[in-house]
Structure 1
Amino acid sequence: MQTNQLLLMRIKYRLKLLLRSLGFRIGLGKRWLENRYGERILVFHGIDTVGETRFNSRYLSQDYFEELLCYFSRHFNILSLEDFYAGKFREGVLNIALTFDDGLQNNFQLAIPLLKKYRIPATFFITVPTEQDFIWPDFLDLVSFYTDKKEVRFRDKIWRLNRKREFVSGGITLKNYCRTLEHEAIKPLYGIFSEEWKQISPGHTLYWKLLSADQIRDISNNDLFTIGGHGVNHSSLIHVSPVSVANEIVTGKATLEQITGKPVDDFAFPFGDYNDEAAGIAISAGYSRLLLVDKLKNQSAHGAMRERFVVNPYISKKHFIACLLKGSYR
């Protein structure tokens, strides 16, 4: 029953997106684009040159990103995250703050020049792994797409590659399974796909390489930008041990503060996954602003928490703006 309900919800969601797209094509979308009061924190991940969506849904092209920035600048009130939390909103327009998750080097190369051009503030939530210069979800996305392997054995399970270029076992994707694991348990995958990584990583740095310490410092030194924490290994903090949760939050914060020489007050939960325990540890560690994705359960439980609106790379700019104004893709 739950599976059928989930399938029905997906069908309804896609049908609504289709109908809205058709509405724009036949000229019915003007009303949907009327500016109105609202408060939204946007979350971006990667920026590339083409808007690649074969590996995952986290990339926008630099050209499209600039189109969005241009529209935002003309129509919306754009605030820093600190001012957003302080409630420095304007009436009658949409008030937005921009954030970027993961700390990818492409943010420095392709996003920041445009943010500087339009004088738009942004907060960058940065992952700071100690053993490699990538995070495991990006590694798995890339090797799954390019591997010639049809199946692999991992943690006593056989994982078979499907048509979507995802490894699956028992109806669960390898990526979702890894989301439930400690990073130490994920690390054997680096050996399983080591040959693939050697071949593909040099030509795909836009899709995995993280910011260097010098780049983080450079971003931090610009008054437009703020550095925030995003953990050490991009672990889901609702699945790992309390010790690992503390390490992700505390060590990540200390590392960024050492690099920047400044307090780091903002934290974004990897995958948006959180519980009261993780939120409490983050507050105790000194974070004053906690960012999710789009599933805040109870804002009154932690006043520091805010939802964010994920940018959808599969729909047109007008369609996205309409959904942003509405505050929902549904």
Structure 2
Amino acid sequence: MLGLGHDRILMYHGTPAADAAALERQLRLVRLAFPVVPLEDIASGRNKNGRARVALTFDDGLRNNVGVAYPILRKLGLTATFFVCPGLIDRACWLWNHEARERLKTLSAPALAELAASVGGPAEVETFIDWMKTLKIAARRRVEETIRAATRGFKPSREQHEQFDLAGWDELARLDPHVVAIGSHTMSHPILTSLSAEETETETRDSRQTLEERLDRAVTIFCYPNGDLNESALASARRYYRSAVTVERGTVNGNADPHLLPRYAANPQRTRRLVRRMVLG
């Protein structure tokens, strides 16, 4: 039955306008089943009254989270945490994996195979992106440049801008802190296991510092990009944040490590799947 046992954390990513109605329906259902509380309450265990609770998180700091999800949260009286990569905002960049994927999709099969062979990667878009995630940061950036060179005519469509553009500083600053908490998602969304210990330290430390300076609010929660972490990443998260979330599936029990909090992936178009996961684990 709903409401069993332990707290849950939901993980959303992009929320394009086409998903707005489905997202609202899904959040209404979640609200009926569980009290929706700030992530900090679950991370710290505070205000626990014996009933399972839910916290909402949105990764990557996308503009559609501000334009689509935020008004729904306000309308329903819910709170959430938006995880942001401040190093990408001033550069008006997409997340590297979003850009690489969309560029690769423009290539013909022979052109993709040729590019893949030139860098030693697989000749299928999604497996290529997954392969890039395994590379050390310098090698991954070289592959990114190879992709850009092969797709010089790439110009994002209006739909792609809606899907992948990041929120700007002014948009983030206008978010009501009673509705949305800001969390750190590193400076530039690297795979932390691809970095040196010093690079990991910089990405985790500087992200919090930049967000707090630009938004004038406390940033105490961290999100590991892609869920990948090692000892250096965990140590840095412990050093600079009160808690951190992963992409591992599960509930949050009383013995949970506050820097290894599990989450359930949520998709507005897959409510039945989400309910099964949240109820059955």
Which category describes the TM-score, using the shorter chain as reference length?
Answer: 0.7 to 0.9
Instruction: Tell me which residue corresponds to 1:194.
Output: 152
Instruction: Tell me which residue corresponds to 1:140.
Output: 100
For residues 187-215 of structure 1, the C-alpha deviation after alignment (integer angstroms, 9 at most, x for no partner) is: 4133332312x2x3444212210010111
Distance 1:295 1:75 in 2: 19
Find the residue that maps to 1:120 and give its secondary structure.
Answer: coil
Instruction: Tell me which residue corresponds to 1:89.
Output: 48
Amino acid at match of 1:99: T
Instruction: Tell me which residue corresponds to 1:235.
Output: 190
Distance 2:262 2:159 in 1: 35
Root-mean-square deviation over aligned CA pairs: 2.5
Instruction: Tell me which residue corresponds to 1:215.
Output: 171
Bigger Rg, which one = 1
Find the residue that maps to 1:195 and give its secondary structure.
Answer: coil
Deviation of 1:37 after TM superposition, in Å, equals 3.0
Instruction: Tell me which residue corresponds to 1:67.
Output: 25
Instruction: Tell me which residue corresponds to 1:24.
Output: none
Q: Which has the higher helix share?
A: 2
The correspondence for 2:238, drawn from 271, 275, 283, is 283
Distance 1:227 1:288 in 2: 13
Instruction: Tell me which residue corresponds to 2:11.
Output: 43
Asked whether the equivalents of residues 151 and 158 of structure 1 are also in contact (C-alpha less than 8 Å), the reply is no
Deviation of 1:68 after TM superposition, in Å, equals 1.1
Asked whether the equivalents of residues 37 and 95 of structure 1 are also in contact (C-alpha less than 8 Å), the reply is no
Q: Which has the higher strand share?
A: 1
% identical equivalent positions: 23
- Is 1:151 the counterpart of 2:113? The answer is yes
Change in CA separation of 1:97 and 1:248 when aligned onto 2, cut-off 3 Å: same
Find the residue that maps to 1:306 and give its secondary structure.
Answer: coil
Distance 1:195 1:70 in 2: 43
Asked whether the equivalents of residues 138 and 207 of structure 1 are also in contact (C-alpha less than 8 Å), the reply is no
The correspondence for 1:263, drawn from 218, 229, 240, is 218
Change in CA separation of 1:301 and 1:294 when aligned onto 2, cut-off 3 Å: closer
The correspondence for 2:75, drawn from 117, 122, 135, is 117
Distance 2:257 2:3 in 1: 30
Deviation of 1:290 after TM superposition, in Å, equals 0.9
Asked whether the equivalents of residues 77 and 90 of structure 1 are also in contact (C-alpha less than 8 Å), the reply is no
Amino acid at match of 2:99: F
Amino acid at match of 1:246: E
Change in CA separation of 1:326 and 1:304 when aligned onto 2, cut-off 3 Å: same
Unaligned runs of 5+ in 2: none
Amino acid at match of 1:185: R
Find the residue that maps to 2:136 and give its secondary structure.
Answer: coil
Distance 1:210 1:114 in 2: 19
The correspondence for 2:261, drawn from 306, 312, 315, is 306
Unaligned runs of 5+ in 1: 1-32, 51-60, 168-172
Asked whether the equivalents of residues 44 and 311 of structure 1 are also in contact (C-alpha less than 8 Å), the reply is yes
For residues 128-161 of structure 1, the C-alpha deviation after alignment (integer angstroms, 9 at most, x for no partner) is: 2254421111112222333334434369425564
Deviation of 1:89 after TM superposition, in Å, equals 3.1
Distance 1:203 1:45 in 2: 16
Deviation of 1:34 after TM superposition, in Å, equals 4.2
TM-score by length of 1: 0.74
TM-score by length of 2: 0.85
Deviation of 1:72 after TM superposition, in Å, equals 1.7
Number of aligned pairs?
269
